Amino acid sequence: MIRKSAFRVCAAAVGLAGLSVSASAALLSHESFETYSEGSAISGANDGQGWTGAWAGQAAATIAGTGLSYSGGDINIDGGGQALRILGDSNNNMATRTFAPQSDTFYFSFLFQSPTAGAETERDFFQVWLSDGSYSGTNSASVAHDQFSGATHRFLARIAKNSGGPFFNDLDTVVNETYLVVGKVSKTGDSGANFDRVDIFINPTTLTEPAVSSVFDTGDTNRSSMSVLGIRTALLESTDEYLLDEFRIGTTWASVIPEPGSLAIAMMLGGAMLLRRRR
């Protein structure tokens, strides 16, 4: 009985290790902002993994000495002690970075928090977009955070348009709360070889992709390949602020959701060895 238990633990650990390797292989790019100096501008920053160029950005995009973390269901993300801060400025290309060109379904994820959006009735607008160059609404797929009514702000999906897009109406965001945002950019075939659908998942809790997204939008981007991640802000006042952390781009859901840690795998293997010795 003990031997069987040890075998099961070993098998589970090996399975987790396999998942970890698979997810790592599908991960294209990752940015944690941990290696930069607090207060420095993001423009020119060139650490992280898998990117094809350094960050380009405006002076309002700097490194904050506060990291973001998320825990929900099976997902736990520790963003460390630093994040990207956007403070009091509006720009279609607030910060951008290039990754390996993708011509098939790909995913992106990041942690989001705002200490101000929703604390007042003024409209604040934030957007993370994917395209193949500088921002153009009609040529990009994105997730946005916008005023819904009064002080209420919500996430929305937007693709191939300069305004609008369906809101995720099940969640009114709260200031100073961290949200995990996962996006999926794909092609339905209705627009030929062009990307024409974006699915957005807000605060997912599973290591496997949910069957239904939180919200989605469709439209022809006229882009068959995408290679730029960008951040856009609009209508911000001088004290309006956003914090962003743990950007990932990959070709699978698992690649943009941190896999079970190597420590957990090691603990399982260690437990199995202990069972064997005590049999």
Per the document, the length of the chain is: 279
Tell me what pLDDT residue 117 has: 78
276: enclosing H helix or E strand: helix 262-277
State the pTM of this model.
0.86
- Distance (Å, rounded) from C-alpha 194 to C-alpha 149? 34
Tell me what pLDDT residue 260 has: 62
Tokens encoding 114: 């705002």
Tell me what pLDDT residue 52 has: 98
Tell me what pLDDT residue 14 has: 42
80 by Cβ neighbours in 10 Å (0-12 / 13-18 / 19+) ranks as middle
Using alpha carbons, select from 135, 134, 144, 129 the residue that is nearest to residue 242.
Answer: 144
DSSP code per residue over 93-125: EEEEEEEEEE-S-EEEEEEEE-SSTTSSSS--E
Q: State residue 102 phi and psi, 5-degree precision.
A: -120, 130
**What is the third-level CATH fold of 27-258?**
Jelly Rolls (2.60.120)
Provide the residue-wise pLDDT of the chain in tens; the chain has 279 residues.
544 444 444 444 444 444 444 566 699 999 999 999 999 999 999 999 999 999 999 999 999 999 999 999 999 999 999 999 999 999 999 999 999 999 999 999 999 999 887 666 778 899 999 999 999 999 999 999 998 888 789 999 999 999 999 999 999 999 999 999 999 999 999 999 999 999 999 999 999 999 999 999 999 999 999 999 999 999 998 899 999 999 999 999 999 998 765 434 444 444 444 444 444
- Distance (Å, rounded) from C-alpha 253 to C-alpha 256? 6
Tell me what pLDDT residue 78 has: 96
- Distance (Å, rounded) from C-alpha 91 to C-alpha 66? 23
Instruction: Give CB contacts under 8 A, 24+ apart, made by 10-17.
Output: 10/268, 10/269, 10/272, 12/268, 13/265, 13/268, 13/269, 13/272, 16/259, 16/260, 16/264, 16/265, 16/268, 17/265
Tokens encoding 156: 């929305």
